[in-house]
Structure 1
């Protein structure tokens, strides 16, 4: 059940990101201003909350990425990705993310930043109410 709930939450986030990307691509100027005023504060608050969880502790380790047996030194992959997309993004060469949307992660970052569920989704059986939308919980071949 936790696995299904986790997938539902992930799918909702991917759907929201896709919707915002579609708006950025297709909305008129007035709509873009309205969306920017409502969504930019939410997105920046979300980034801040996530980055606060990954602030280094007194030893310079990321408390969220570290485990009992493996310490993750700062900056962790979350901070590296944040810097890449928020600061260096204008300088770094970008692959076109549209129309297929999500690009494959960079090879050096794949192991740390991509959860296993995003690397190779497995077909799952779920109740019919959760099988709609682009990010449904069933494999594409089952549709």
Structure 2
């Protein structure tokens, strides 16, 4: 059950990101201003909450990424991605949604979906690109 709930939550987040990307590329100026006013504060708070969870401890380890047996030194991958997208993004080459790869994200074949981000049958392995 936890796996299904996790997939439902992930799908909802991917759908929301897709919707915002679509709005950013297709909406008129007035709609963009409205979306920016409502969504930018939510997105920045989301980044802040995620980054707070990955703040290094007194030893310089990321408490979220570290395990008992493997310590992850700061900056962890979450901070690196945040810097890449929020600070250095203008310097990095831009990728289209079709070529963009997110670590840990699986790609599924059309036969395994019933929608844009449909549930994946947990008994069948996802096809990764």
Query: Is the shorter-chain TM-score for this pair beyond 0.5, marking a shared fold?
Result: yes
Looking at structure 1, the residues matched to 90 and 28 of structure 2 have their Cα atoms a distance apart, in angstroms, of 23
Task: Give the gaps of 5 or more residues in structure 1.
Answer: 106-113, 126-130
Looking at structure 2, the residues matched to 119 and 53 of structure 1 have their Cα atoms a distance apart, in angstroms, of 24
**SS at the partner of 1:72?**
coil
Equivalent residues in 2 for 1:98-109, closer than 5 Å: 100=98, 103-105=100-102
**2:8 corresponds to:** 8
After superposition, give the CA deviation of every residue in 1:56-81 in whole Å (9 maximum; x if it has no partner): 00000000000000000000000000
**2:106 corresponds to:** 119
Matched, 1:133 2:120: no
Pairwise CA distance, 1:133? 3.2
**1:59 corresponds to:** 59
Pairwise CA distance, 1:92? 1.1
Task: Give the gaps of 5 or more residues in structure 2.
Answer: 122-129
User: Does 56-65 or 85-94 show the bigger shift?
Assistant: 85-94
**1:89 corresponds to:** 89
Q: Which portions of structure 1, spanning 4 or more consecutive aligned residues, are displaced by more than 6 angstroms? A: none
Query: Structure 1 residues 121 and 64, CA, compared in 2 at 3 Å: closer, same or farther?
Result: farther
TM-score, normalising length: structure 2 = 0.84
**SS at the partner of 1:119?**
coil
After superposition, give the CA deviation of every residue in 1:3-49 in whole Å (9 maximum; x if it has no partner): 00000000000000000000001100000000000000000000000
TM-score, normalising length: structure 1 = 0.77
